[in-house]
Amino acid sequence: MKRLQALLGFAAKAGALVTGSAAVEAGIKQRKIALVICASDLSAKTIKNFNYFCKKNEVRFYCFGIISELSHWVGSSGRGVIGITSKQFADAIESLFIDGGEHH
């Protein structure tokens, strides 16, 4: 979890992510998002919608953590949806999920 926290913090400082449902959805439509992380304590409907929207647009999708945790990591309160715009950050974050470095 510390590696994910660090990567999200670096991505935020680098301007390589967007937060919030509307901004992430707009980014997906504009093909600017490489990976989406939704907090697991969002409504089931929101998670389902983002999962579907990501699959439809060929964007990697993960459900992880809780809103307060993710918000703190990216320095923006009340954000349960995070879109990573940098392919390099997206690849590094995805490797944590795939390699079992983080649970999801």
Return the ∠ at Cα 30 (arms to 47 and 12), rounded to 5°: 70
Phi-psi region of 18 (alpha: psi -120 to 50; beta: other; left: phi over 0): beta
Instruction: Flag whether pLDDT at 101 surpasses 60.
Output: no
Token look-up 């590094």 returns 92
Please list, in sequence order, all residues whose beta carbon lies within 8 angstroms of the beta carbon of residue 24, skipping any fewer than 6 positions away: 18, 33, 36, 50, 81, 82, 83
More confident residue, 100 or 21: 21
pLDDT for 103:
44
**pLDDT tens string 32-90:** 999 999 999 999 999 999 999 999 999 999 999 999 999 999 998 999 999 999 999 99
CA–CA dist 85, 56 (Å, integer): 17
Instruction: Flag whether pLDDT at 104 surpasses 80.
Output: no
